Structure formats: C-alpha cells, structure tokens
Amino acid sequence: MDNLNLNGNVPSGDLSDKWTKYRSTLPLVAPNNKLKIEIIVVGTGLAGASAAATLGELGYLVKCYTFHDSPRRAHSIAAQGGINAAKNYRNDGDSVFRLFYDTIKGGDYRSREANVYRLAEVSTSIIDQAVAQGVPFAREYGGLLDNRSFGGVQVSRTFYARGQTGQQLLLGAYQSLSRQIALGNVKMFTRHEMIELVVKDGKARGIIARNLLTGELEKHGAHAVVLATGGYGNVFYLSTNAMNCNVTAAMRAVAKGAFMANPCFTQIHPTCIPQMGEYQSKLTLMSESLRNDGRVWVPAKKEDAKAIRDGVKTALDIPETDRDYFLERRYPAFGNLVPRDVASRAAKTACDEGNGIVPTGLGVFLDFSAAIERYGKSKANILGLSNPSNAKVIELGEKVIEEKYGNLFEMYEKISGENPYKFPMKIYPAVHYTMGGLWVDYNLMTNVPGLFSIGESNFSDHGANRLGASALMQGLADGYFVLPYTIGTFLSEDISTPKLDVNAPEFTAAADLAKQRIDKLFAIKGKQSAESFHRRLGKIIWEYCGMSRTAEGLTLARQQVRALRDEFYADLYLPGVANDLNPELEKALRVADFIDLGEIMVVDALDRNESCGGHFREEYQTPDGEALRRDDEYAYVSAWEFKGADQDPILHKEMLHFDNVELKTRSYK
C-alpha cells in the first residue's frame, strides 16, 4: 500500500523554529518576474480576500472571483464570537505552545503538528494586522484590547468585536482587497462562479467561470489557482452556513484528481436556535461565547420536560433542585465550556433520554439568570449601592449582559419571538463547520501541482474537531501569512512559463465539459426542484452521518444517496435557460456536487472505525459514553481519490506523527 501513502512535505527541524527557518529558505520570485505571473484566487472570504490582497501587494497579477455581488458578502461576514491569538495580553499563562497544544488536543489528535504550530505562531501577527487596518476590536477602559475565553480552553485569548467579529475582520480584508483592486493589482470578478478546473500538463492552470448574469462560460488562465471557497456544511441542507455556501469548487477540483481529506469530520455546534418547521431554510447560531455566561440545563424530571413541551409549564416553573445542569454534572472541570463536540453530544443524549424542552423534543435551555444576578450584584457594588433590591440587581445585570451580547439577544428574540433576558434561550446543536476539505501539504498545495487551498476549504489544522474562534484565525493565517510565501515554492519553477493561452485545447475541453453538465440538467425535464433534492439529501446525511453514526446506518445512507442521485438525474425540473441569470440552475449544479460529496462523506465515516472529535461511531465508545479513539489504527488523514460517481473512491493515507505532544484520551472531566 506504499504508493497510497501521502507525504505532507513537512520541513525537518525543531517544531518551534521550523516555520521561521523554512520561510527564510523558501524560493523567492523576483519582483520583475512577479509582474508576469498570474494567480487566480477563488473566494473572497477571510482566506481569499486576505490572500488576494497580500499577493497583490507583493506584485503578482491577481484575478479574484466570487459568486456574490460583492466581495464583502462572503460567509465569513457572519462569524460572531471571536478570533484566537497567542498574545498572552492577559498574562494568564498563554503561549504559542499552549495554543498549539489546545488546538491539537481539541482536534482529538487528528491534525498535522507542524501546520498547527505554524498557525499558533502567526496568530499574533493577525491581530496586529487587523488593528492596523482599523478593525474595531473590543477594548478595555484603559484603551487596550479586551479578551474573552472560548470553549475547550482555560485561558482568555479570544479577541472580539461585539458579536460581529467576522464582519469586522472581513471588512478589514475587503478594504485591503479594495485598495489592491483600485491599484490595478487585483482584477475582481464578482457574480462569477467557478464550475470547472483546468489542468494542463498535470498542473492547475485555470478555471471555467460561469458569468452568473449572462450565463457565459468564461475561460480564465493563470500560473496557479488558489481555492478559498469555504466549507461544505450545507451538504446537510440545514446548517448555520449562509444559503449559497457550496462545495462545487472543491468537488470540481476533486473531479480533476485533487483528494478530499477527512470529509466525515464535520462540526455540530451546540448552541443554535432549534428547528421550528419543515419550511425552514437555515439554522441560526448563537455564539459559543454565550456559554461563558449561560448555563445549559434540562428538567431532571421527564414529566417536567413534557409539561414544558406541551406549553403547560415554562422554565421558570422548574425549581433549582429539579434542574439537570448536565454539562456541569458530567464535566466538572470545564463545565459549560467543554468543546463543541462534547457539548453537542451531551445535549443530544439529554434529548434522546426524553428531557428535551421544545415541541420536537430537540432542544435544551441556555440560562443567563445566574450570570445576570452575579453581574448585577457586582455592578451594584461598584456603584456603591448597599442593599440593592432584587429588581435593581437584575436591571443592572441585564445591562451588563446586553453590553456583552446585545446583538445576539436581539437576533434570538427576532427569530424566536421570546425575550431571552426573561426566559432562558432554547437551543439545540446544528451543523456549523467542516474540518474536512481538500487535502493540502505544508505549503497548502493540493496533490494537483499548482492548485492550492486555504481557509475552511482545506482540511488542514483542526483535526476531528475545531475549537471556537480558530476558523477566523486559520483563514487569515493562511491568506495573510502562509500562502503568499509558500506559493513561491511552486511559482519559482514557473517564472519562464508565458501567460496562459485560454484557447489551448485543455481550456476548450473544460468549457465543453461544463456546458455538457448544464445541458444534461436542462434535458431531464422532470418534476422536482433542486431544492427538494437538497432537502432530502440533507435529511439522509443528518440522520446517518450527523452527531452519531453506525456502520449499519452509514451503509444504508450510501444506498439512499445513490438512489437519490439516480432520481435527481431522472426527475429534476430546471426552469429558465442557461444563458441568463438563473438561480435555479446555480442551485441544481451545486446540489449535484453535494450529492457526490455526500457519498464520499459516508464512505469516509464508514472507513473510520473509531470515534474522534466530531465523528462519533456508536460502536466505539467508553462505558460512560465518551468517544473511543483508536490511535493504533486510525492516526491518519484519510484522503479520497474520486473515481466517478459510479465507482468506489480510493483511500490514500497520510500517517500522522506526534513528536511534541503525547496522545492522550481527551478528558474535560
């Protein structure tokens, strides 16, 4: 099986100075040569915008693409809670090593040590860069930057901008990108969707982009292609991702030979607003930061839970002694701040046991009353009020909570119609993030030379579970501080390659392929909408490849996904025409790729006979229901080679080596 073993191309040397050394020995591209080198960046989220801006600053000719009408709309805009960095501004014992360690442990020992260390190392520069761009992070009264703590760690290293950290960081990157656009270093193509990758002489040399306004299939060439196209959480249909997030760019690369790594590692976020009805189009996240002050509970008695579900009782009717704060009970050391996978599964267990508190049975409480009282008292103290009334304490406490989470509380109230200051929030886990993605080496290059992948679209740094506030960090680390250097390893060999000729046969063939796919969908002339197939796919994946998985369920899921694919190609109804703005066609093309990805996910989950991070196989658990990892057999990255929808994908393994941390059973008890 040797030929199936992948190499991450990690440079040798000590973990702590690997990156510094490597970076100073990386081949460089001279300024005059950069002016002749074109780079395509697909995506303008944190990863894409930061990479395109930085590459433009360095002097490359950058072409940047997004299906949105503006680069500022990328899904990164929705991130709420914060971004980690090992600044140790709190002096609470944080360090690069600790951030590295927490990330490796949080990821349940399924990520590459060297990449994670580099991420922790460059994290501090991200904060500097963002502040210089004018990102208005939260500050203390002394004018210095504030921090909060996030799930799964015991230090405060999360920088935040109210509940809108992603928005502010993305606007920072977008503004830098805008500057490069104005300078002519980056050419921006909005409303363009990449629907095919062009590979020439074994190297990624361009893309076919569909102009979403005219439907034209445009050929764009470059010396290298960078995918910064985000995650695939919408394979579940319902998720916290924006409606248009999709996996098409990655799957088009996979169809051209790129490997999809760890696709079954998906993250279910514990605190989202529960689903209300069948028509529902997406789920809304309530930031993890809320778990700093909110306590998660269900009624201890099943009859109370039922009374709440039936609307006979409310949370306020349940006395303290009849509440089960199940995270605090099961995980005394971390309590409500256990990592996401642990918190999500615990909520599921509580609901499976019949203690759920919303009509569907799938919901638990997130309660702020204790925090409101605590903050109220401390505020009263500061104001010098002796013996404040209960009402005064609560009033003051609610003010503090409003200052910290005002916009989240408001968002909750808008959606649910309930006031979360008075009644505990109702929450349930929902799909949120995908750790899996395109396989990349230490240079962030896929196995297709010249094709790079950054941000959520790659598999790299989070192993089997991502810690809160680490996705923003990774996207910006990749885009600002890693890719712009490592891309030189590939490009330095290509300085004499002339501008790519888009009339070359490879481009025409790729455009023809895209056209055939579109024509095929129109030719079906069936009866069911793309949306309805998407919804059904999501149900299958959520049911069998969601929070807990079994070999039996996964086997069934694979059959169902295949049957759904057949039905899709036999009965899709696609309105409108190809050469026009046609959102239904966009959706249908994306759903087709989600179906193929869905099957690979299921195959991956079936292959991994262990439980780790977000991947919980019921067959592999400890007697008290915790995940049972099997390091002896499964300490590898699974990278799948796609052989067409009707064939089994081929597994390649990248063995993981841990030289700097000891593999332990994660314990948050």
Partner 1 sequence: MKLTLKIWRQPSQNVKGKFETYSLDNVSEHMSFLEMLDVLNEKLSFEQKVPIAFEHDCREGICGTCSLVINGQPHGPLQGTTTCQLHMRNFKDGETIVIEPYRASAFPVLKDLSVDRGALDRIIQAGGFISVSTGQAQDANAIPIEKDVASHAFDAATCIGCGACVAACPNSSAMLFTSAKVAHLALLPQGKVEAQKRVLNMVRQMDLENFGNCSNITACEAECPKGISVSNIALMNREFLSASFSSNDAN
Ligand X SMILES: Cc1cc2nc3c(=O)[nH]c(=O)nc-3n(C[C@H](O)[C@H](O)[C@H](O)COP(=O)(O)OP(=O)(O)OC[C@H]3O[C@@H](n4cnc5c(N)ncnc54)[C@H](O)[C@@H]3O)c2cc1C
Provide the binding-site residues for ligand X, judged by CB under 6 A: 42-48, 65-68, 74-76, 78-83, 165-166, 193-194, 228-231, 240-241, 245-246, 248-249, 285, 432-433, 455-457, 469-472, 475
Diameter of the chain by CA atoms? 82
Please name the amino acid found at residue 67.
Answer: F
142 binds partner 1 (CB under 8 A): yes
Residue pair 424/367 in contact (Cβ under 8 Å)? The answer is yes
- How far apart CA 585 and CA 576 sit, in angstroms, is 8
84 binds partner 1 (CB under 8 A): no
Among 89, 232, 297, 365, binds partner 1 (CB under 8 A): 89
User: What is the DSSP pairing of strand 451-453 with strand 224-227?
Assistant: parallel
Q: Is 87 in the site for partner 1 (CB under 8 A)?
A: yes
164 binds, among partner 1, ligand X, none (CB under 5 to 8 A by kind): partner 1
Query: 454 CB contacts (<8 Å, ≥6 apart)?
Result: 47, 48, 51, 226, 227, 228, 444, 475, 478, 479, 482, 483
Does 415 bind partner 1 (CB under 8 A)? Our answer is yes
Alpha-carbon distance of 204 to 206, in angstroms, equals 6
Return the number of the residue (111 or 474) whose C-beta is nearest partner 1: 474
- Which of partner 1, ligand X, none interacts with 480 (beta carbon under 5 to 8 A by kind)? partner 1
The residue among 194 and 511 lying less far from ligand X, judged by its C-beta, is 194
Interaction with partner 1 in 280-299: which residues (CB under 8 A)? 280-282, 284
Decide whether 273 or 564 has the Cβ nearer to partner 1: 273
Q: Is residue 277 at the binding interface for partner 1, with CB under 8 A as the rule?
A: yes
Residue 213 CB contacts under 8 Å (≥ 6 apart), including other chains: 191, 581
Q: How far is the CB of 528 from partner 1 (least distance, A)?
A: 9
Interaction of residue 129 with partner 1, rule CB under 8 A? yes
Nearer residue to partner 1 within complex by CB, 95 or 508: 95
Contact residue for partner 1 among 2, 3, 141, 644 (CB under 8 A): 141
Q: Is 181 among the residues that bind partner 1 (CB under 8 A)?
A: yes
Tell me which residues in 48-77 interact with partner 1 (CB under 8 A): 50, 53-54, 57, 68-73, 75, 77
Partner interacting with residue 277 (select from ligand X, partner 1, none; CB below 5-8 Å by kind):
partner 1
Nearer to partner 1, 181 or 337 (CB): 181
Residues 77, 587, 344, 637, Cα dihedral to 10°: -90
From the list ligand X, partner 1, none, pick the one residue 312 interacts with, judged by a Cβ distance below 5 to 8 Å according to partner type: none
Q: Which one of 294, 436, 484, 649 is in contact with partner 1 (CB under 8 A)?
A: 484
Q: How many residues does the chain have?
A: 669
Pairing mode of beta strands 217-221, 224-227:
unpaired
**The token pair that represents 376 in the structure block:** 């109220």
Query: Around Cβ 502, how many Cβ atoms within 10 Å?
Result: 17
- 157 C-beta neighbours (distance < 10 Å), count: 27
Would you count residue 423 as binding partner 1 (CB under 8 A)?
no
Site for partner 1 in 395-414 (CB under 8 A): 411, 414
CA distances to 177, 298, 405, 607, 620 from 368, rounded to whole Å, are: 40, 14, 11, 42, 35
Residue 430 or 612: the one with the smaller Cβ distance to partner 1 is: 430
Q: Name the residue nearer to ligand X (CB basis): 471 or 606.
A: 471
Q: What is the DSSP letter of 75?
A: G
Count of chain residues binding partner 1 (CB under 8 A): 77
The one of ligand X, partner 1, none whose footprint includes residue 92, by CB under 5 to 8 A per kind, is none
Which residue of 303, 353, 552, 580 would you call a contact of partner 1, by CB under 8 A?
Answer: 580
H or E element at residue 95: none
Specify whether the CB–CB gap between 84 and 470 falls below 8 A. yes
* Least CB distance to ligand X at residue 440 (A): 13
86 makes contact with partner 1 (CB under 8 A): no
639: tokens are 């990278």
Q: From the CB of 514, what's the least distance to ligand X, in Å?
A: 11
**Alpha carbons 342 and 105: distance in angstroms, whole number:** 13
Pair of tokens at residue 234? 């919408």
What is the nearest approach in angstroms of partner 1 to the Cβ of residue 79? Answer: 9
Q: Does residue 148 sit in helix, strand or coil?
A: strand
The active-site residue out of 295, 340, 558, 666 is 340
- Judged by beta carbon, residue 572 or residue 605, the one nearer partner 1 is 572
Residue 161 lies near partner 1 (rule: CB under 8 A): yes
340 is annotated as an active-site residue: yes
Q: How far apart are CB 584 and partner 1 at their closest, in Å?
A: 6
| Binding window for partner 1 (CB under 8 A); candidates: 169-177, 221-229, 294-302, 457-465 | 169-177
For residue 235, what is the DSSP state?
A: G
Reduced to 3 states (helix: H, G, I; strand: E, B; else coil), residue 453 is strand
Report the half-sphere exposure of 641 (CA within 13 A, side-chain side): 12
CA 61 vs CA 185, 188, 435: distances in Å: 6, 11, 31
Spatial separation of the C-alpha atoms in residues 190 and 202, rounded to whole Å: 28
CB-side exposure of 169: number of CA atoms within 13 Å?
A: 38
Interface with partner 1, residue 579, by CB under 8 A: no
Interface with partner 1 (CB under 8 A), residue from 171, 224, 371, 518? 171
* x/- map, 431-470, partner 1, by CB under 8 A: ----------------------------------------
Instruction: Answer whether 546's CB lies under 8 Å from 431's CB.
Output: yes
The residue (of 254 and 290) whose beta carbon lies closer to partner 1 is: 290
Q: Looking at residues 593 to 652 of the shown chain, list those that interact with partner 1 (rule: CB under 8 A).
A: none
CB atoms within 10 A of CB 459: 29
CA distance 74 to 229: 9
Measured from the CB atom, the residue of 67 and 485 that comes closer to ligand X is 67
Q: Which residues are catalytic?
A: 340
